[in-house]
Amino acid sequence: MTKLKTSLIWLAALSLIFQVAHAALPSAWFSNNGEMPTLAPMLDQSKPAVVNIATLSHIRVRNNPLMDDPFFRRFLNIPQQQQPRHRTKQSLGSGVIFDAKKGLVLTNSHVIQRADQITVSLTDGRSFQAELVGSDPATDVALIKIPAEDLTALTLANSDQLRVGDFVVAIGNPFGLGQTVTSGIVSALGRSGLGIEGYENFIQTDASINPGNSGGALVNLRGELVGINTAIFSPGQRAGNIGIGFAIPSNMVKQISDQLIEYGEVKRAYLGVQTQDITDELASAFNIPPGQGAVITSIQKGSAADEAGLQIGDVITSVDGQKLRSADSLRNTVGLLMVAQTINMDILRNGQNKTLKATVKEIKKQTQQAPVHPKLSGASFGDIEPGSPHYGKINGVVVYDVKRSSPAWNAGLKTNDIITSVNKGKVISLEDFKKRVRNNGTLLFNLTRNRRAMFLILR
């Protein structure tokens, strides 16, 4: 009897534990009859909102330099007026239906970059040609539109409520295999300073994000969108996924998409300060904990910071109640604000806590759009913006825009390239750039692209 009673007690305890666990876990883990833990019910609702994106680009193939020599052209009997050759490039990625009624689809900017044709394929077999609504390479967010009905969209979650350890699921189209699903947890939040994008505030996850997953959905166990999958960390080009993937938070995506819908671009705000991180030495000097806030090193005259009364040496510790960890976090926070938005800044000045208000302004770009050289037609150039991560760190001019199929596009220039020298002469400003390219035949650019230096020849 004793053994029987003991067995019955254990069975009752196990039953109680199972019932408590069943009640505590999200319903997505269980099928309709509750017999088997599964994510299938949630995925059945979420997967139709994740689409495949295929792009087609026509890239001009540069001729061998010898083919430009008149002697060799005559020797080889090559016609003087030879049509430029092009090759076709195809790529695959993923997207997330953002607005079912309007046919709006979110994806990564790098997925549709330089695409002449964008095809969106749905899980029900339908395919549509998409048009570009707008793109923001600085955050790697793009918005496209398809003429489709009866679409399923994902609900956006509040990504600020995510915690390390939350379960997440990545849905995408890696390697063109069709939809795949991987699961994991949130392993870190607020990742920045990685050099992947201009403005970074990544969700880090160990859910596998593979080539083709870019632009796909990172969802919670309720099937709500918490992020857009965008990149992985890999120690080598062939190392593959090692469990460190990054996604753009849904709140950041919403801020960017709102501006893309309204303006077709992002009108970036700036405060008008240069800052640096609080090191251990600075923390000791200011008598504050290290690794918190950003100290102001310079203030632009007439800027929002100047008008708000900020001073050099002030330590900005939070913006609108959001604590700052570094100078990058301040730049990200301000760069994602709407122009003319008023913010409250908590600062530390001479050991005293203060709160100041500032109304952020739009970055005024001084750009050159008129072609200063035939090969540069179709591109606009400008000085490095105060809000750029390169401001004060590198000299040069930025390629702000390149029109498709223009001479600049065909020459190989890309949006966000930073040109640091022309024909081996350093470029300091837009005016300097204009002088160096004017009345020059062949142009040799030294430029920075995605934080990598390279040469580009324009003949």
DSSP 57-122: EEEEEPPPGGGG-HHHHHHTT--SSPPPEEEEEEEEEEEEEEETTTTEEEE-HHHHTT-SEEEEE-
- The pLDDT assigned to 211 comes to 74
Residues 6+ apart with CB under 8 A from 235: 242
DSSP 329-388: HHHHHHHTSPTT-EEEEEEEETTEEEEEEEE-EE----EE-S-SSGGGTTEEEEEPPTTS
Residues 305-319, mean pLDDT to the nearest whole number: 90
* Residue 151: C-alpha distances to residues 168, 171, 176, 366 (Å): 23, 17, 22, 42
CATH superfamily to which 367-458 belongs? PDZ domain (2.30.42.10)
The upper half-sphere exposure of residue 267, i.e. CA atoms within 13 Å in the direction of its Cβ, equals 14
- Give the amino acid at 144: I
- The pLDDT assigned to 154 comes to 92
Residue 135 a catalytic site member: no
Residues 26-48, mean pLDDT to the nearest whole number: 72
Q: How many angstroms separate the first and last alpha carbons of the chain?
A: 96
Residues 6+ apart with CB under 8 A from 432: none
Note the pLDDT tens digit of each residue in 84-116.
Answer: 555 666 677 889 999 999 999 999 988 888 788
Which of 14-23, 244-253, 378-387 has maximum average pLDDT? 244-253
Asked if 142 and 112 touch (Cβ cutoff 8 Å), the reply is yes
Q: Model pTM? A: 0.70
Q: Which segment of 140-154, 214-228, 341-355, 358-372 scores lowest on mean pLDDT?
A: 358-372
Backbone dihedral region for residue 349 (phi beyond 0: left; psi -120 to 50: alpha; all else: beta): beta
Residue 283 in this model has a pLDDT that exceeds 90: no
Q: How far apart are CA 391 and CA 384, in angstroms?
A: 6
Q: Please give the CATH number for the structural domain made up of 46-145.
A: 2.40.10.10
Residue 44 a catalytic site member: no
Residues 6+ apart with CB under 8 A from 361: 269, 270, 272, 303, 304, 339, 340
Asked if 260 and 133 touch (Cβ cutoff 8 Å), the reply is yes
Residue 214 a catalytic site member: yes
Identify which of 155, 140, 141, 153 has the alpha carbon closest to the alpha carbon of residue 220: 155
- The pLDDT assigned to 447 comes to 87
Among 94, 192, 208, 214, the active-site one is 214
Radius of gyration of the CA atoms of the chain, in A:
26
- The pLDDT assigned to 204 comes to 92
How do the domains of the chain map onto residue ranges?
A: 46-145, 159-263, 269-362, 367-458
Among 140, 206, 277, 383, the active-site one is 140
- Give the amino acid at 53: I
Neighbours of 64 (CB within 10 A): 8
φ, ψ of residue 195 in degrees (nearest 5):
80, 15
- Give the amino acid at 6: T
Q: Please give the CATH number for the structural domain made up of 159-263.
A: 2.40.10.10
Under DSSP, the state recorded for 230 is: E
Second-level CATH architecture of 269-362? Roll (2.30)
Written as six digits, the tokens of 456 are 């580009």
Question: Given pLDDT bands bounded at 50, 70 and 90, which one contains residue 453?
Answer: confident
Identify which of 152, 151, 129, 132 has the alpha carbon closest to the alpha carbon of residue 143: 132
- The pLDDT assigned to 23 comes to 47
Among 94, 110, 135, 206, the active-site one is 110
Note the pLDDT tens digit of each residue in 292-307.
Answer: 788 888 888 888 898 9
Q: Do domains 46-145 and 159-263 have the same CATH topology?
A: yes
Residue 263 in this model has a pLDDT that exceeds 60: yes
Under DSSP, the state recorded for 147 is: -
